[in-house]
């Protein structure tokens, strides 16, 4: 399997998968470790309060979903299993993004939720395209889910916009302009960083989470080596428009 086929299967959030070895024992070991790491990470959130605690817990869920997806990619060859694992990652990242949006207000919050939903839809679509043999029932369910999600997103956006009109016209215009500018810029930067990570064979993009706020790129997740963590930072810094790169990537113990 060449690199381009692998990238097509991996989509926007992962790259460089080797052919799965179908090793049930190894898969169980990785999944058990993911569960143990999640439990430890969640326990560390106990000292936090309010939305900071909620965000911490969602970040732990994202890390767990990515670790389980990695286990599936390495030790299962069924396309549906791989697709489901990637959909779980997309769902977890969406829940995390929504929690972070809760710290915002007005149009900024609306734009944040819209971007989070768009990112999830893209990830889900990529995951479903990676499965070459979806059934008619699955395609129908996917279309229904997409329509339902779009309707819900439209409803949320309209509700947020209605609430925002209670502010003064000047504040609404200023906030909308700033939010739109930041959202477009940050979204473009995030997309480009993810694409560069996915295209580089030296970085396991599935394990690296990318976020951008006002030009500041924040990297998190777990990678097998410091060299890989440094490479991710280097690639992010090379993207046009990036003002700063903050990395909280951790090197996971593979022994």
Q: How far is CA 5 from CA 81, 199, 246, in A?
A: 18, 12, 31
Q: Which residues contact 10 (CB under 8 A, 6 or more apart)?
A: 16, 17, 130, 198, 205, 206
Judged against a pLDDT cut of 60, whether residue 162 lies above it is answered with yes
Residue in 66, 77, 61 with CA at minimum distance from that of residue 9:
77
- What is the C-alpha separation between 206 and 223, in angstroms, rounded? 9
- What is the C-alpha separation between 246 and 219, in angstroms, rounded? 6
Residue in 116, 182, 194 with CA at minimum distance from that of residue 149:
116
228-239 pLDDT, tens digit per residue, is 889 889 998 999
- State the sign of the Cα–Cα–Cα–Cα dihedral 94, 237, 8, 79: negative
Helices in 76-135 by DSSP H: which ranges? 79-101, 106-130
Look at the block and give the residue holding tokens 């790259």: 15
Categorise residue 200: left if φ over 0, alpha if ψ from -120 to 50, beta otherwise.
beta
Judged against a pLDDT cut of 90, whether residue 34 lies above it is answered with yes
What is the model's pTM? 0.46
128-146 pLDDT, tens digit per residue, is 886 655 555 656 776 787 7
**What 3-state class would DSSP assign to 140?**
helix
Q: According to the model, what pLDDT value does residue 138 have? A: 57
Q: How far is CA 4 from CA 58, 82, 200, 218, in A?
A: 32, 17, 11, 27
Look at the block and give the residue holding tokens 């090379």: 238
Residue in 202, 243, 240, 242 with CA at minimum distance from that of residue 223:
202
- What is the C-alpha separation between 25 and 31, in angstroms, rounded? 10
Judged against a pLDDT cut of 80, whether residue 222 lies above it is answered with yes
**What 3-state class would DSSP assign to 219?**
strand
Q: How far is CA 192 from CA 133, 183, 195, 217, in A?
A: 30, 14, 5, 11
Q: According to the model, what pLDDT value does residue 170 have? A: 54
- Mean pLDDT for all residues in the chain: 80
Which of the pair, 22 or 204, is modelled with greater confidence? 22
Q: Which uninterrupted H or E stretch holds 213?
A: strand 208-213
């Amino acid at each position: 399997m060449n690199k381009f086929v692998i990238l097509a299967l991996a989509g926007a959030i992962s790259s460089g998968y080797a052919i799965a070895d179908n090793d049930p024992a190894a898969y169980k070991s990785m999944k058990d470790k993911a569960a143990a790491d999640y439990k430890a990470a969640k326990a560390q959130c106990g000292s936090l309060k309010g939305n900071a605690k909620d965000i911490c817990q969602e970040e732990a869920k994202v890390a767990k979903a990515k670790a389980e997806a990695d286990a599936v990619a390495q030790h299962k060859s069924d396309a549906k299993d791989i697709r489901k694992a990637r959909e779980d990652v997309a769902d977890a990242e969406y829940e995390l993004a929504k929690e972070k949006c809760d710290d915002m207000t007005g149009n900024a919050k609306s734009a944040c939720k819209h971007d989070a939903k768009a990112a999830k839809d893209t990830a889900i679509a990529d995951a479903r395209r990676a499965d070459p043999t979806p059934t008619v029932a699955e395609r129908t369910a996917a279309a229904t889910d997409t329509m339902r999600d779009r309707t819900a997103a439209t409803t949320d956006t309209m509700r947020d916009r209605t609430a925002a009109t209670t502010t003064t016209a000047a504040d609404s215009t200023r906030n909308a302009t700033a939010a739109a500018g930041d959202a477009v810029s940050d979204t473009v930067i995030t997309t480009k960083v993810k694409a560069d990570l996915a295209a580089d064979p030296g970085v396991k993009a599935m394990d690296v989470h990318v976020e951008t706020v006002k030009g500041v790129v924040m990297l998190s997740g777990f990678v097998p080596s410091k060299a890989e963590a440094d490479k991710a930072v280097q690639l992010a810094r090379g993207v046009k428009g990036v003002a700063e790169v903050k990395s909280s990537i951790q090197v996971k113990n593979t022994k």
